Every structure is written in C-alpha cells, then in structure tokens.
Structure 1
Amino acid sequence: MARFIFITGGVVSSLGKGLASAALGALLQARGYSVRLRKLDPYLNVDPGTMSPFEHGEVFVTDDGAETDLDLGHYERFTGVPARKTDSISSGRVYTNVLEKERRGDYLGKTIQVIPHVTNEIKDFISIGEDEVDFMLCEIGGTVGDIEGLPFFEAIRQFSQDKPRGQCIFMHLTLLPYIKASGELKTKPTQHSVKELRSIGLAPDILVCRSEGPIPQKEREKLALFCNVRPDSVIAAQDLKSIYEAPIAYHREGMDQAVLDAFGINPAPKPNLSKWDDVTDRVHNPEGEVTVAIVGKYTQLEDAYKSIAEALTHGGMANRVKVKIEWVDAELFDREDPAPHLEKFDAILVPGGFGERGTEGKIKAAQYARENGVPYLGICLGMQMAVIEAARNVAGLTKAGSEEFDHEAGERRFEPVVYHLKEWVQGNEKVNRSVADDKGGTMRLGAYDAVLTEGSRVAQIYGKTAIDERHRHRYEVDTSYKDTLEEVGLKFSGMSPDGKLPEIVEWPDHPWFIGVQFHPELKSKPFAPHPLFRDFVRAAKEVSRLV
C-alpha cells in the first residue's frame, strides 16, 4: 500500500510546487521506489482544455486522452511515468461527479454538502491505484487560504486521519523574500502561511523554502522553532540555472532523506543519481549553440509552449549543444517580410494553436523555411500551415486554407485542404464529432498509432515504421489532396493505420522539413529525448556549422 505525500503551497503561487514534486519523485525513484504523481486543482473548470493559454499555459495531454495541467508534464519528464486521467482532477470535475450522482439518486435522498460528499469524492480520487506504487505524491494547486482550495485541504486532512498513523506526510512550499533595503531574509510570510495551514488542521512535516540564495543557519533554526518542524526538515529551494538541476540540488539539501525520516524508513536505500549527474553535465557543458525561432501566437507567455521548450532542451542535450530559443509573434509576418527576422536562425519551429489569428504569418514562416533550406518542424497547426503553404505556392491552389478559418468567419473564403475532423477510429470504436459539439474534451485526444513509409526521413529518425503519439486537434489535412501535393514533392510519410488520416508530411529534397499532426514534445524527457527533437536539433547544429 502506498505512502502518501501531500504538497501544498503558501505565500504566493508559481513558486515551483510542480517542479519540487517532480524532483522528489525522481529522487525516490533513484532510491529504488516506484512513484505516481497527482495534481488536484481548485479551479472550477472541468479541465484546462477550454482555457486560453494566456490564462493557464500549456494543456498537457496524456496517453489516455486527458487534458491536464502543465505540471503533469514536469512529472512525466522527471520520472518517466506516463500520466493518466486519474492523475489530474479539478473542483469542476469533482462537483460534476457529485451532481451526476445526486441526479442518479446515488445519495438516497440525502442533502448534498461539501462535507462529506465533496470531500469523499476527492478522497476516492486520491485512493485510485494506491496499491500500485510505493509512494503517491499529491500536489494541491493554488495556495493555502484560497477559498476554492478549502475542500481539498479538508479532504487531505480527513484522508490522513483515515489512514494508519505514519502513512501520510505533508510538505509545504513557501517563499522567503529578501528585503534588499535592510539586507534581510524574512521568515514572517512563511510563519503566517504555516499558521494558516495549521488553522485548518494540517501541520507540515517538511518545509521547502524558496529563496534567491542560501538560507543561513539562524533563519533555518527560527523557521524550525516557529513552524514546529525539525531543523533538518527545513529545505532550501534556491533559484537554479536549469530546472534539471533540481533533483541534485534537493538531494544535497536532504529533501529525500527528510521524507524517508518522516515516514520512519530506516535504513534508507542509497540513491543512484548517475542519470541526473549526466543530465546536468549535458546542460552545463555544451559544445556549441544553436538558435531556434518558435513562430507562434502565444509568445507573450512562454508557459503556453512549455513542453516544446523543454523538448528542444532535451534535443540539445542529445547533441551536446545549448538551444537558444527566441519567441517570434506570428502576427508580425502579417505586416512584414519574414526574411529579415528569420535569417539569423538555425531552425524554425511552428507550434500548435487554435483560431485564424497569426496563421498567415505561420504560413509565411513555413514558406521561408522551405525556400531557404532552413530546418523546419511544424507541430499540429504548424503541420497544417505547411500543407496549406505547399498547396498555395507549389501546387497552385491559391485559395487553399482551412475550414476552421471559414467557420470563424461565417463565410466560404478558402478551398479547404484542412477540414473539421468528423470521425475517426479510437481503439475498436468509431468516434463521431460535429462543429456544433461542446468544445471541451471533443477533440481527437490521446495516443494513436501511425504507420511510417519505409525509407522516409521520419522512418529513419524513429528507426521503425510503427509508432504511437499523442494528439490534440479537431481539424485534419484532407487526404483527397494527397495525390496533388505528392505530385509536386510533398510526401505524406506517416498515416493512420487505416490510411485515412495524415500524421506526417515531409519534403524529401529539403535538408530537414517535417510536419506532424501530433504533439511529440509531450513524450520527450531529459534522459530520453524525443527522436524528432533530437534530429531537429542535429539538423540545426549542421546548419550552424555551415554558416
């Protein structure tokens, strides 16, 4: 039966609870334990699938088709454990489940209340799969004191009481601000945060304190005294140059040992951190640098493309180079020639997105890459824009466009080489969708198989012809244009097993030009870079050497 670690936050949000959870999971794995990580989000959306990237950042998609918080990406990248639908839940999902049960009569006419019905639903979620792993790490989104989070805090308090003594511990992450004018590191915000936590019946066993620099021993002892934790359970979380330093840094601070001590595990297995030593060595000792332009529409918020940025970093590790990313607003090319802006880059990546805004700029970026021999990777919408560019500028279909854009405009303006996906096969069942369906959870989501053409560039990159990748899209390239486009040189080198849905296109006579309908970035890890990103950065490295 699993031991449970509940990770909460205080003072301010965005301190790095997700990263701390992921790093702790990696450290427990390094000691030979199996782990699973979960995120409990207090917001009332059922999931982040319909949120703007400016609101929430990236939506991370699991193999089984869940749209989840970007922290699950950290969990996967650090532990290699594929996330599942049961690893992410929100207040919206909890209340939806409770109300559906009430409508069915499952509560036998009782009055439905936050306690016990909502808290029981949360506890049931936490318990899923508890016999499968040694440690279950559950991160509570937001900060202590948030009104939306109160049912979750109450649920984990009850849960810890329901379990045998010593089976649950609490880790609290807070901020130690440095006041430059007085030259002091202030502990009072952390003291108040712990006081708030204790007022709702939770007491931290481990205190993780985020700070710009080291925490002096005097402040550690003060925190231990006023927050009622052991001095060796006050863990410093200093700012790092790379997130991939976190497992080593937290191990030096004694986080994993403090967790095992809190559970009374003695003697503790010694950790094997050689994997993370290699990762940090590759991060800090590159043998060169490449510059990649990400031409997108959410460039003001880097978290909107979090997994892509990390996958590029992984590709750099594999090639022993530093990948310098520059964010380019696609709308810039609606007004200006892309050449002066793109000529300095070693490679161009056009990511996914929704809606027409910025798409003409993405098409121009694809055209520039094709005409100038610059390595190009188009992901999801980035692939569709590359196909539209080929249709317009090579095949002569000057009105080529996407049904998505006509749908937004309410009129027919384009010849749609990209259309709304109305049906596909998921497992052994046929899925049907229409434009009028609800937006949430109605896309082609999760892992699907693809068959690669023998001898194609992508088959060489993957080293096989059968793959599976994660999807998140509702528009698809129309295969009725396949022959026309292949006649002018664009190769459809990856298709769904039934041959109906294009998965990959490439220009064989180009140094490196690939578009994929799926999201390869979601499966990349620092110790196992995704093949496409590894080879994309290799191609950029070759270009950099030629310049």
Structure 2
Amino acid sequence: MSKFVFVTGGVVSSIGKGIVAASLGRLLKSRNYNVSILKLDPYLNVDPGTMSPYQHGEVFVTEDGAETDLDLGHYERFTNTAMSRLNSVTTGSIYQAVINKERRGGYNGGTVQVIPHITAEIRERIHRVALNSGADVVITEIGGTVGDIESLPFLEAIREFRGDVGRHDIAYVHVTLLPYIGTSGEIKTKPTQHSVKELRSIGIQPDILVCRCDREISKELRHKIGGFCGVPTKAVIPALDADSIYTVPLSLEKQGLCREILDVLQLTDYASDMASWAELVQKLRHPGPAVKVALVGKYVQLNDAYLSVVEALRHACLEQDASLNLHWICAEQIEQQGAEILLEGIHAIVVPGGFGNRGVDGKVAAIQWAREKKIPFLGLCLGMQCAVIEWARNIAGLINASSAELEPHTNHPVIHLLPEQQDIRELGGTMRLGVSPCRIMEGTLAWNLYRKDIVYERHRHRYEFNNAYRNLFLESGYVISGTSPDGRLVELIELSGHPFFTACQYHPEFLSRLGLSHPLFRGLIAAAQHNQSC
C-alpha cells in the first residue's frame, strides 16, 4: 500500500512547492523508496498546452504525450523517474470527466455537486497514480495558494482523503513564507500563522511546516511558529534561499524534512545516499571557464518559458567543466538590430521551440549567422524548421520559402502539416505528442553523439520537413542524420563541413538530467569550448 504526502502553499504564490515536492522525492529515493509525484493545478484549462508561455512558463511533455505544468520537469529531473499523464491533474480535466460521466448517466439521475462528486474524482486520480506507479510514497503538490477560491475543491479532497487511508498513511506539508522586515530587523511569523489558520479552517492540520526565508531562523522562532500552528518545533523546517535549485534537497535533508515525513508515515528512516548529488552540487559551485551561449527565442522576457532548455545547458556545462554564461536574445531584436550586433562574440547559439510567426525572421537570421560564421548551433523543434527555412532561402535559392504554418500560401512550403493532422480542428492535445523512436544514421555527427541506432525522444509539433524538397536538401550539403524508423519523417538534420550544426524536430531538453546530460547539448557545449579556444 502506498503512503501519501500532500504539499500545500501559503502566504504568496510561486513559493517553491514544486521544488520542495521534487526535493522530497529525491530524498526518499536516496533511501531506496519508490516515489511518484503529481500536480493538482486549479486552473480551468484542461492542460497548459494551449496557454501562452507568459501565462504558465514552458509546457513539459511526458513520455505518453501529456502536455503538463513545468513542475513535472522538476519532478523528473530530481527523481530521474518518468512521469505520465496521470501525474498532471487540472480543474478542467476533473470537471470534464465528471460532466462526461453525467452525460452518460453515470450518476443514476442524481444531482451532481462539487461535494461529493468533484472531490471524489480528485481523490480517485490520486489513488490511480498510486495503483499505476506502485510507488511506496505518492507526493501530491496542490497548485495555488491556500485561500484561493479555485483551490478549495482540491483542499477539500485531500481533507477527505484521510478517510480513504489510515492515519499514518498520510502526511500534510505546508510551505510558507517568513518575510524579513528590514526597517525593524525582524522575521515576521504572522503571515505563516494566518496561512495555517486558513488551512485549519478547511479541516487540515499540517504535520510539517517548510518555512521559506532569506536568512537563518532561530530555534526560538521555530518554537514560536510551532506553538501557534500546532506543529512540533522539530517539524518546523527552515528553507533558506539557495544558490541553485539543486542544493535544496541537501539543505532540506540537513534540516530533517525527510526524517520528519518518515516519522509521520511510520516508515523506516534508512541511510540516505546523497553523496553523488552533493558532488555534482559542489561542481556547480566551482564551475570551469564560462561559455557564452545565446538562446534566441520569442518569450525571453520570461525565463521559465525555456526552463528545460536552460537546465539542459547547465547539465551539459557541468559535465564539460564549464560555466554557463547565458545570453537571452529576443528574436525580434535581431530583426531590428541585426545578428552581427547581438551575436558577436557568442560561442554557441540555441534556437528553441515555439509557435507562430512572430520573431521567426530573427531566428532565421541567427541561424544564418551561425552557419556562415561557423558558430556551433543547435535547433529544437521550430528551431529545426527555421534552419530548413534558412537553407531554402539562402542556399537553395527558393525565394520566400517558408513554413505552411507561418505562410499558408507560400510557393515553397519546405515545412508542411503532418498528414495525420490534416483534418484536426481542435488545438488542445492534438499534436504529435510524446515519445517516438528515431533511427540514427551511422557516420554522422548525431551518431558520434548518441552511439545508438535507435533513440527515443519526446515530440510536440504539428508540422514537419516537406519530403518534396528532400533531394534538393541533400544535394546542397545538408545531411539527414535521423528519421523515423520507416524513413518517412525527418527528425534530425546537420550541415556537413561545419564544426557543429545540427537541429532536431523533437525536444531533447526534456530528457536531460543532472549528472546525465543529453548528448546533443553535451556536444554543443564541447563544440562551444573548442570555438572559444580558437
């Protein structure tokens, strides 16, 4: 039987519940417990797939093709465990399931209500993760902040969950903020007290408090917080601001978070093996020479829009004994100022995924700069499509070549709609999503990086390379280094005679891990280091 941990948050949004949940997962795995983590998101969207990255950051894609919140990326990177569509639950998906069941007569003519029907569906989703994963511990993060109206059904559901399991099969963790008031020189506990009061008014008494703060919290202050909130002093866990998210598990381990969780759940506190993780964190704190990498994107004003790409670059730099000097370059600024102004002195260029035509010409110009100046380049999804467009316009002489997504009436649609997408009209969850095999061609740069015949990568796209231009493409010096196993879909391209120029239709950033970087990113950073030394 699985045990369950629920992580709620109070005082302010974006307080770090996802990192706390992921860190706890890491600490439990270090004690050889199997873990699964799910996110309950209170928004009415069925998933974040149709949301602007400015609204919710990047869309993380699971192996089975679910478009999910970016926190699932943290869960995977910290626990090195693949999540699935079961690990992402939204208000929209809950109401959709309940209404569909009602339309089928599943409630036998009864009145359908938030309680018990919506909350029962939420509880069933949590049990489903436990059943399908077989995890020893299922960690559930509840999105939003205690006090939000939209979070109430989820909080009520996890309150009711106590009736589904034994008293020692469940633990409640509440993450709060302890603000420091500079003028008075005090850490204030009142916001935490009020947040816990709000949680208790719903019927949930937290077992453990994780208190965010930017400075040390005295034992006396922890005792005060515990007394007001009904929590033992030892279960008031300080969570100080960290220099990296990867240091948080080590900090929470030192403060005894996992020990307190195991005590509540009456599980054995086995010896923890965090030595290798600590070594990697130590390397992060003492990096090698900086590598200047330009990330040329459309949503650079919000760093979370490209979170997995940035983490993949960090992982690769760590393995190559380098530090990441990341330059956020707005593609539209390249259109206005020119690539030579914004990209001079850069050691490597990454063009990530995206949708829509805003900034595309700037991305194409950045790719042209990388090609002509022999700058190491990696294109991801739309980044590959832009590389194809750049080749078509500037090498193959196909004037105004474009993607059918960007210009439906172009004379040269070098990128066109996937055949299986032709009759699809709805946007949400209808793309080519999830893991697919890719066959790597021997003797290519990709083969030297992967050293495998078949690799499995995650996709999120509607458009693909147009095979009508394949021969022209090959004759001009490009190499198709990866395809679907049947050879139909072009998955990976590279440019011969260039130090490092490759682009893929998939999203390799989703598979990068601390201590196990993705081959494409590792190769990019190695090439950037060589470029730097030249």
State the TM-score bracket (shorter-chain normalisation): over 0.9
Alpha-carbon offset, residue 436 of structure 1: 5.3
Q: Distance in 2 between matches of 1:478 and 1:446?
A: 21
Q: Distance in 2 between matches of 1:184 and 1:356?
A: 50
Partner of 1:438: 426
Partner of 1:457: 445
Partner of 2:532: 544
Mapping 1:12-51, distance limit 5 Å: 12-51=12-51
Mapping 1:181-200, distance limit 5 Å: 181-200=183-202
Partner of 2:143: 141
Partner of 2:113: 113
Alpha-carbon offset, residue 223 of structure 1: 0.5
Letter in 1 for 2:181: I
Mapping 1:112-511, distance limit 5 Å: 112-131=112-131, 132-266=134-268, 268-407=269-408, 412-423=409-420, 433-434=421-422, 437-511=425-499
1:234-267 deviation per Cα after TM superposition (whole angstroms, max 9, x unaligned): 111111111111111111111111111112235x
Q: Distance in 1 between matches of 2:462 and 2:439?
A: 20
Q: Distance in 2 between matches of 1:324 and 1:258?
A: 39
Alpha-carbon offset, residue 378 of structure 1: 0.3
Matched residue of 2:7: which SS?
strand
Q: Distance in 2 between matches of 1:485 and 1:454?
A: 19
Q: Distance in 2 between matches of 1:303 and 1:93?
A: 24
Alpha carbons 1:27, 1:247 under 8 Å: kept: yes
Letter in 1 for 2:525: V
Letter in 1 for 2:158: I
Alpha carbons 1:403, 1:414 under 8 Å: kept: no
Structure 1: which 5+ residue stretches go unaligned?
424-432
Partner of 1:428: none
Structure 2 vs 1, CA of residues 487 and 164 (structure 1 numbering), >3 Å: closer, same or farther?
A: same
Matched residue of 1:333: which SS?
helix
Alpha-carbon offset, residue 66 of structure 1: 0.2
Partner of 1:430: none
Alpha carbons 1:286, 1:320 under 8 Å: kept: yes
Matched residue of 1:404: which SS?
coil
Alpha-carbon offset, residue 219 of structure 1: 1.2
Matched residue of 2:29: which SS?
helix
1:498-521 deviation per Cα after TM superposition (whole angstroms, max 9, x unaligned): 111110000121000010000000
Alpha-carbon offset, residue 322 of structure 1: 0.8
Alpha carbons 2:424, 2:430 under 8 Å: kept: no
Alpha-carbon offset, residue 414 of structure 1: 4.5
Task: Give the TM-score, by structure 2 length.
Answer: 0.98
Q: Distance in 2 between matches of 1:523 and 1:130?
A: 23
1:296-336 deviation per Cα after TM superposition (whole angstroms, max 9, x unaligned): 00000000000000000000111111111111000012222
Matched residue of 1:406: which SS?
coil
Alpha carbons 2:334, 2:342 under 8 Å: kept: no
Matched residue of 1:128: which SS?
helix
Alpha-carbon offset, residue 435 of structure 1: 6.2
Q: Distance in 2 between matches of 1:209 and 1:326?
A: 33
Letter in 2 for 1:520: P
Q: Distance in 2 between matches of 1:234 and 1:307?
A: 31
Letter in 2 for 1:470: R
Partner of 2:83: 83
Matched residue of 1:298: which SS?
coil
Identity, % of aligned positions: 49
Letter in 1 for 2:10: G
Q: Distance in 1 between matches of 2:417 and 2:64?
A: 22
Structure 2: which 5+ residue stretches go unaligned?
none
Q: Distance in 1 between matches of 2:233 and 2:296?
A: 48
Letter in 1 for 2:235: S
Q: Distance in 2 between matches of 1:88 and 1:420?
A: 28
The answer as to 2:500 corresponding to 1:512 is yes
Return structure 1 stretches of 4+ with deviation > 6 angstroms.
Answer: none
Alpha-carbon offset, residue 287 of structure 1: 2.0
State the Cα RMSD in Å: 1.0
